[in-house]
Chains A and B, each alone.
Chain A
Amino acid sequence: MNLKLITKGILKENPTFVLLLGMCPTLGTTTSAMNGMGMGLATLFVLILSNMAIAAVAAQIPGKVRIPAYIVIIAAFVTILQLLMQAYTPALYETLGLFIPLIVVNCIVLGRAETFAAKNSIAASALDGVGVGLGFTLSLTVIGAVRELLGSGALFGYPLLPSGGITVFVLAPGAFIVLGYLLVLFNKIKR
């Protein structure tokens, strides 16, 4: 049962490939496998903590101010993440830039708060956060790896193709096109 909470976020309800949520960071930060993974882990961090906090207080929050209250909780964890990243991983913080504060408005985080954490126990919500967060991280790493391989001829920074790559894949159009084709692949496999 508990294991299912984690695996469903990775495959059956994968936030990127199945639910198409959180598209902005998905497209914006996946210029390399490392950056994609960094963004995924940053979101995972916020997702687990906000899920747990919201599960803990949901019963005390009146329905009308539910959404603003969730947003405050999520924004607080995002700011904590910003401060921690500035202190301990400043290089990654700079690379991901604007997309770190934008985790606040990532529909995945608010979506899980509303549909799962508000109605479940703290432990279950934490596991749900782990599952969905891992699914997101995995997707972003895969997209980043494909774009890095095609665009710079490298993988996690190690050069693989001596000829370099087709630059357009690390630029904006490449983001849309790679994600589009990966979705096609995902659809084919699922069927």
Chain B
Amino acid sequence: MEYILIIISAVFVNNILLTQFLGVCPFLGVSNKVSTSAGMSGAVMFVMAIATLFTYLLQYYVLVPLHIEFMQTVGFILVIAALVQMVEIILKKISPALYQALGIFLPLITTNCAVLGVAILVVSKEFTFLGASHYLNLAQSVVIAVAYAAGFGLAMTLFAGIREQLDLAEVPKAFRGAPIALITAGILALAFMGFAGLV
């Protein structure tokens, strides 16, 4: 039950894209087509889950025991950069099909602030489970990372669907491209505000 609640909260109520503004660059950059959006979302989910697992271990088994929590930013970004490289190499070897689908997005993910953002969020914030609140354990961290990624994917895919339609519309010249995309995203964010208070 409590897992269902954190998943709903992470996907809808605290959607990382539309309420926390993490990962807006790929959101605006590669959301022209539903298919590329889905590919990007898949790659983000994959990397985010693994990255959160490793950064969690780094935080609680290296940084905290050594009292060097201030090295968090440097440590986390290095772990993420290394992971992305490794995922790329491994995928290429063991699953060329998956590499074809996700590979081109992987280099973009190191600088996707959603990955670093979520990794920092899960170790720095207390989350509430049915009244009691505490820092997350390893399993909960990975679950919430996947849920955040799912929320990212949902917003991204919805948005791509809208943009495919927008391409066919007569948009005033000054609004074309980024401006209309941002205003559309704003309206989508308004819709997501309706989920507030759900959990």
Best-surrounded residue of A72, A110, A179 (most CB of chain B within 10 A)? A179
| Residue of A83, A173, A175 with most partner-chain B CB within 10 A | A173
Q: How far is the CA of A65 from the CA of B116 in the complex (A)?
A: 20
Contact B73 A177 (CB under 8 A): no
Answer yes or no: A165 CB below 8 A from chain B CBs: no
Q: Which residue of A lies closest to B71 (CB)?
A: A79
B36 at the interface (CB under 8 A from A): no
Q: Which of A28, A181, A187 contacts B21 (CB 8 A)?
A: A28
| B63 shortest CB reach to chain A, Å | 12
CA distance A83 to B193 in the complex (A): 34
Q: Which of B129-150 contact A (CB under 8 A)?
A: none
The CA-CA distance from A16 to B24 in the complex, in Å, is 13
Number of residues in A with C-beta < 8 Å to the partner?
41
> Residue B127 at the A interface, CB < 8 A?
no
Residues of B contacting A105 with CB < 8 Å? 77, 110-113, 116
Q: Nearest chain-B residue to A27 (Cβ)?
A: B21
A107 at the interface (CB under 8 A from B): yes
For B, the interface residue count at a CB cutoff of 8 angstroms equals 42
Interface-lining segment among B44-52, B86-94, B180-188: B180-188
Q: CA A171 – CA B72 in complex, angstroms?
A: 29
CB atoms of A102 and B183 under 8 A apart: no
B20 & A28 in contact (Cβ 8 Å cutoff): yes
Residue in A closest to B119 when the chains form the complex, CB atoms: A101
| Complex Cα gap A180–B180 (Å) | 7
Q: Which residues of A contact B183 (CB under 8 A)?
A: 176-177, 180-181
Complex contact B178–A188 (CB within 8 A): no
A13 CB to nearest B CB, Å: 16
Let me know if B190 is at the binding interface, CB within 8 A: yes
Residues of A within 8 A of B179 (CB): 180-181, 183-184, 187
B97 within 8 A of A: no
Known A27-B21, A28-B21, A107-B111; judge A173-B116 contact (CB<8 A): no
Any B CB within 8 A of the CB of A20: yes
Tell me whether A101 and B182 are in contact in the complex, defined as CB-CB below 8 angstroms, given that A27-B24, A173-B190, A184-B175 are known contacts: no
Closest beta carbon of chain A to B58's beta carbon, Å: 14
> Could you tell me which A residues sit within 8 Å of B by CB distance?
20-21, 23-25, 27-28, 67-68, 71-72, 75-76, 78-79, 82-83, 98, 101-102, 104-107, 110, 168, 171-177, 179-181, 183-184, 187-188, 191
- The 8 closest A-B CB pairs, nearest first, are A176-B186, A180-B182, A177-B186, A28-B21, A180-B183, A173-B189, A23-B24, A183-B179
Report B's interface with A, CB cutoff 8 A: 18-25, 28, 70-74, 77-78, 81-82, 110-113, 116-117, 120-121, 173-175, 178-183, 185-187, 189-190, 192-193
The 17 sampled A-B contact pairs (Cβ below 8 Å) are A20-B178, A23-B28, A24-B24, A24-B113, A27-B21, A67-B81, A68-B82, A71-B110, A76-B74, A83-B70, A98-B120, A102-B22, A104-B73, A176-B182, A180-B179, A180-B186, A188-B174
